[in-house]
Amino acid sequence: MSAQPVNPNLPPDHVTVFIDGVEMAAPKGSMIIQAADKAGIPIPRFCYHEKLPIAANCRMCLVDTEVGGRGAPKPSPACATPVMDGMKVFTRNDKALKAQRNVMEFLLINHPLDCPVCDQGGECELQDLSLGYGRSVNRFVERKRAVADEDLGPLVASEMTRCIHCTRCIRVTAEIAGTYELGGMYRGENLQIGTYDGKPLTTELSGNVIDVCPVGALTNKVFRFKARPWELIARPSLGYHDALGSNLFHHVRRGELLRSVPRDNEAVNECWLSDRDRYAHEGLAADDRASVPLIRDGDAAVNDGWREATWEEALARAAQILKDNAGDALGVLVHPATSNEEGALLARLAEGLGSGNIDHRIGQLDLSDGAHAEAFAMPVADIEQADAIVIVGSNLRHEVPLLHQRVRKAVKRGARVHVVNPVDFDFTFAIAGKHIVPPSQLATALAKVELGDAASVAVILGGVAENGPHAAAIRSAAAVFAAGKNAKLCRIPQGANALGLSRLGVLPATRDALAMLREPRKAYVLYGIEPGLDFADQQLALKALGAAQVVAFSQFACQSTRRVADVILPIGALPEIEATLTNLDGFEQQAASAGKMPGLAHSGWRVLRALGGDFALPGFEFTDLAGLRASLAPKAVQVAAGGALAPAAGSGLEVAASQAIYRVDAVIRRCTALQSHPLNVGPHASLNPADAAAAGIGEGGMVKCVAAAGTATLQVVIDARVAPGSVWIESGHGVTAPLVAAGKVEVARA
C-alpha cells in the first residue's frame, strides 16, 4: 500500500474511504459506521448509539472491507473498525449480507414471538431489521430460554426475556447517568442484564433506557398497554419543570396525552430527557384539575361555599374584583413557569389597571438587590468543554438533571469541579474541591476557591443560593469571583420561564412578591400558583391572600386555592396550550398544544384577552395567537431593590433548603409514578452527627423544628454530608413549609 494519501487535497486529519463505491472524506480514527451515517448509507445495528461508547456486542453491523487491494478474511463490525485511507467498504455485497443475516438468525434464536402483546411493537428496531435480514423459517427448534424480570421501580417496566444483550441500557446508566446501576451477570447463553442487587433504578434519567432499548425489554411502565404507536400523534413541546427547556414530543391519542419522549436538540438536551419531564403528564389527570369556573358565594356548608359558574359570570366577577381594587391596591403574583404570551398579557393587565405590583419571583426570600433571571454567560452546550466549573448553592443533579449531565461530560474530558454548598450533595462525577459550610457562609467560602490555571471557567449558581435568605450576598460574591477569575457566571433561573418573564416585564415597578405579601394588598391575581406550596414564605402568603379578594387563574382547584380565592378560572397547562418559553440560554422555544384541556378550561391567553378586552385596555386588541405574538417585545424594566427577610439571629441551626426533585410544582406533585420514585424520600430533617449528638437525637427519631412561622415535626436523618450548624430540609412538602423561610430553627426531640 502506498504511503501517499489517496486524495492529497484533504486536511491532514482526514482520510479517503469508499463505501459501496461512494468516495468520501472521514476523520482519522472515526469508525466505518460513522462515515456511512454521515453519507446517508444505512448499516443495520443494535448496540451502536452515537451518544454511547462503542461496545461492538451485537455484530449486526458486519461489513466487508478491503484495504490496499486485499480483502479482510472475515466481515468487520462497522461500529468498531476505524477507517483507513483508501479503504473500500461493502455493506450490501454477498459476504456482508450473509453475515448480517446470520447474526439476525442468532439474535432471534431465543427472542420470544410476542410482538402482538409487546409495547415496543410498531417501533421496534428488531422488528424492522428482521423484516429485511431475517429468515422466513426458524431453524432453531429447541426450547427458548426465559429470564426472570426485575422490578426496576415505578417508571421502567422490564421483560428481560426479550433482551438481545446490546448493553445500551448499561452504558446509559454508566456513561450518561453515572449511577452504574445496570450490568451483565453470568456468561454465555446465561448472560442476563440486571441491577445486581434487585433494587429499583434511582437515577433521575432512568427513562432514557427505554429510548435506547432496541427491543421491548425495557418499556414505559406508565404508558404500558395503553396504545400502539400508530394510534398516536406527536406534538412538539417543551419540558417546563426546570429552566433548561428540554425539547420533547407529547404523544396524543384522541386528545389524551399518553406519553412524552425526547426530541433531539444538541444545544439543549441532546437526545435525552429527565424523568421529571418524561412522566409529568400523568399529573395532568389529577382529580382536582380545575375544569369549570368556580365562584365563592354559595352556602358555606355546601362545597365550602363554592359553586360552578358560566365563563361569562366568572369573568364578570373577576372584572368586578379588579375594578374595585385597581391601582396600588392590586397585586399580581405569577408562577415562574408561565408562558411568554401569558406573562406579557399579565404585565399589560397590571399596567392598564395602574398597578406596579407584579412579580414572578414568588419562591425567593432575598430580593434586596433587585436581581432577576439572566441568560447563562456560557451556553449549556459549551459547559461540557470548560476546564473548571464551580457549583455554588445547588443540588444540581436534582435541580437541572441534564445540566448536571453536561457537567459530568466536562469532568470525563478532564474538567475540575469545585463545590460550595451547605450540604455535600450527590454528584455523579469526581469533585476536585469542596467547601461545605452553613448557608450564611457560602459567599465567604466562594472566595476561597482556587482554580489554578484553568482557562475556561463556568460558575453555576443554583436554587439553594438564589432562594435562600442570603441570596443577595451570594450573588454579589459570585459576580466578584467570576470577574476576578475571568469566569462566566451562569445563574440558574428559578422557574422554567423566569428568564422570559423577566424580559417581558413581569417584574415590579413598585412592590415585589415579598413586599406584596408583607404589605398586604386588597386584591390579588394568582396565576398558575398553588398557594399552599409554591411561595417561599407560606405563612405570610396564606395570611395575606386569606384577607384579600383573589382571582385565581389555575390548572388545579386544590384545597389551598379554594381556601384563599374568590373566583377560580380554569386554564390549560403547558402541554395543552400553544406557548413560548425562554430557556436559561436565552433561546425562545415554542410548544404546540397536545392534550385536550379538561372540561371548560381555556388557554390562559384567551382568558386574559377576554378580561383585558372587557376593560378596553391597550395591548389587548389582537384577535388570535399570531397577533399576540407579533406584539411581544422585550421591555427595559428597572427593578428597584426589593424586600428580604432579615436573617434570623440568636441560637439554633441554620436552615439549608433545597427543592425536592419531584415536588417542584403542582403538576409534578400530582404525578403518582414520580411520587413513588426512590428519589422522592418524603419530608425529613437531616442533621450533622455532631449537631444530632448535641441535641440527643438519634437516627430515625422524630424531631421538632421550631421557627417563628410554626413548628414542623419531622423524622431525623443523621447525615455527615450536612454542614455543622445546619439542618437540611427539602421544600415542596406542606410539613416543611414553615421552615423554608425561617433562616434558623431550634431543634429538639419530639
Supply 430's cell numbers.
Answer: 469526581
- Contact present, 228 and 234 (Cβ < 8 Å): no
Q: Which residues contact 613 (CB under 8 A, 6 or more apart)?
A: 620
Residue indicated by cell numbers 420533547: 248
Q: What percent of the chain has pLDDT over 70?
A: 97
Whether pLDDT at 648 is above 90: no
**Whole-angstrom Cα distance, residue 351 to residue 345?**
10
**Whole-angstrom Cα distance, residue 332 to residue 508?**
9
**Whole-angstrom Cα distance, residue 489 to residue 481?**
9
The answer to whether residue 114 sits within a structural domain is: no
Question: What is the rounded end-to-end Cα distance, in angstroms, of the chain?
Answer: 82
Same domain (yes/no): 552, 604: yes
Decide: residue 507, CB within 10 A, 0-12 exposed, 13-18 middle, 19+ buried: buried
Whether pLDDT at 638 is above 80: no
**599 Cα distance to chain centroid:** 28
Q: How confident is the model at residue 297 (pLDDT cuts 50, 70, 90)?
A: confident
Instruction: Kindly report the CATH number assigned to the domain that includes residue 99.
Output: 3.10.20.740
Whether pLDDT at 2 is above 80: no
Query: Which range marks the domain in which residue 83 is found?
Result: 14-107
Same domain (yes/no): 363, 386: no
Q: How confident is the model at residue 135 (pLDDT cuts 50, 70, 90)?
A: confident
- Contact present, 671 and 662 (Cβ < 8 Å): yes
The answer to whether residue 185 sits within a structural domain is: yes
- Return the pLDDT at 136: 81
**Whole-angstrom Cα distance, residue 553 to residue 608?**
9
The answer to whether residue 2 sits within a structural domain is: no
Same domain (yes/no): 281, 430: no
- Contact present, 388 and 452 (Cβ < 8 Å): yes
- List 419's β-bridge partners, or say none: 391, 434
- Contact present, 248 and 588 (Cβ < 8 Å): no
Instruction: Kindly report the CATH number assigned to the domain that includes residue 505.
Output: 3.40.50.740
Same domain (yes/no): 389, 466: yes
pTM given for the model: 0.94
User: Model confidence over 209-234: pLDDT tens digits?
Assistant: 999 999 999 999 999 999 999 999 99
Whole-number Cα distances in Å, 747 to 236, 241, 706 = 48, 32, 6
SS in 3 state form for 322-391?
A: HHHCCHHHEEEEECCCCCHHHHHHHHHHHHHCCCCCEECCCCCCECCCCCCCCCCCCCHHHHCCCCEEEE
H/E element, 64: strand 62-67
**708 Cα distance to chain centroid:** 33
- Return the pLDDT at 643: 65
- Return the pLDDT at 319: 97
Instruction: Kindly report the CATH number assigned to the domain that includes residue 674.
Output: 2.40.40.20
Return the SS3 of 194.
strand
Same domain (yes/no): 433, 463: yes
User: Model confidence over 347-365: pLDDT tens digits?
Assistant: 999 999 999 999 999 999 9
**Whole-angstrom Cα distance, residue 705 to residue 103?**
63
Q: How confident is the model over 288-292, as a mean pLDDT?
A: 96
Q: How confident is the model over 315-338, as a mean pLDDT?
A: 97
The answer to whether residue 299 sits within a structural domain is: yes
Same domain (yes/no): 100, 160: no
- Return the pLDDT at 400: 97
- Return the pLDDT at 137: 83
For residue 325, which phi and psi values (nearest 5 degrees)? -130, 35
- Contact present, 495 and 528 (Cβ < 8 Å): no
Whether pLDDT at 62 is above 90: yes
The answer to whether residue 125 sits within a structural domain is: no
The answer to whether residue 709 sits within a structural domain is: yes
Same domain (yes/no): 241, 173: yes
- Return the pLDDT at 650: 63
- Return the pLDDT at 305: 87
Q: Which of 681, 680, 699 is nearest to 689 (CA)?
A: 699
The answer to whether residue 517 sits within a structural domain is: yes
**Whole-angstrom Cα distance, residue 203 to residue 219?**
16
Q: Amino acid letter at 412? A: K
- What total of structural domains would you count in the chain? 5
**Whole-angstrom Cα distance, residue 104 to residue 130?**
7
User: Model confidence over 230-244: pLDDT tens digits?
Assistant: 999 999 999 999 999
- Contact present, 541 and 526 (Cβ < 8 Å): no
**Whole-angstrom Cα distance, residue 712 to residue 704?**
6
**Whole-angstrom Cα distance, residue 156 to residue 151?**
8
Q: How confident is the model over 177-205, as a mean pLDDT?
A: 92
Same domain (yes/no): 506, 621: yes
- Domain-terminating residue out of 438, 465, 491: 491
- Contact present, 163 and 217 (Cβ < 8 Å): yes
Same domain (yes/no): 704, 724: yes
Give per-residue burial for 510-519: e unless 16+ CB within 10 Å, then b: ebbbbbbbee
Same domain (yes/no): 99, 157: no
Q: How confident is the model over 550-559, as a mean pLDDT?
A: 96
Supply 600's cell numbers.
Answer: 371548560
Give per-residue burial for 622-646: e unless 16+ CB within 10 Å, then b: beebeebbeebeeeeeebeebbbbe
Same domain (yes/no): 517, 586: yes
Mean of the per-residue pLDDT values of the chain: 93
User: Model confidence over 464-519: pLDDT tens digits?
Assistant: 999 999 999 999 999 999 999 999 999 999 999 999 999 999 999 999 999 999 99
For residue 602, which phi and psi values (nearest 5 degrees)? -130, 165
Long-range contacts of 69-74 (CB under 8 A, 24+ apart): 69/1
Return the SS3 of 101.
helix
For residue 378, which phi and psi values (nearest 5 degrees)? -120, 120
Q: Which residues contact 143 (CB under 8 A, 6 or more apart)?
A: none
Whether pLDDT at 563 is above 90: yes
Same domain (yes/no): 507, 626: yes
* Cβ count near 263 (within 10 Å): 18
**Whole-angstrom Cα distance, residue 506 to residue 492?**
18
Residue indicated by cell numbers 441534564: 402
- Return the pLDDT at 308: 94
The answer to whether residue 112 sits within a structural domain is: no
Q: How confident is the model at residue 627 (pLDDT cuts 50, 70, 90)?
A: very high
- Contact present, 347 and 631 (Cβ < 8 Å): no
Q: What percent of the chain has pLDDT over 90?
A: 86
- Domain-terminating residue out of 267, 285, 303: 285
Whether pLDDT at 1 is above 50: no
298 vs 674 pLDDT, higher one: 674
Instruction: Kindly report the CATH number assigned to the domain that includes residue 227.
Output: 3.30.70.20
Long-range contacts of 61-68 (CB under 8 A, 24+ apart): 61/33, 61/100, 62/96, 62/99, 62/100, 62/103, 63/32, 63/89, 63/90, 63/91, 63/96, 64/89, 64/90, 64/91, 64/93, 64/95, 64/96, 64/99, 65/32, 65/89, 65/90, 66/90, 67/1, 68/1
Whether pLDDT at 188 is above 90: no
Q: Which of 582, 596, 541, 586 is nearest to 563 (CA)?
A: 541
Q: Amino acid letter at 243? A: A
**Whole-angstrom Cα distance, residue 363 to residue 352?**
26
- Domain-terminating residue out of 285, 314, 337: 285
Q: Amino acid letter at 21? A: G
Q: How confident is the model over 378-400, as a mean pLDDT?
A: 97
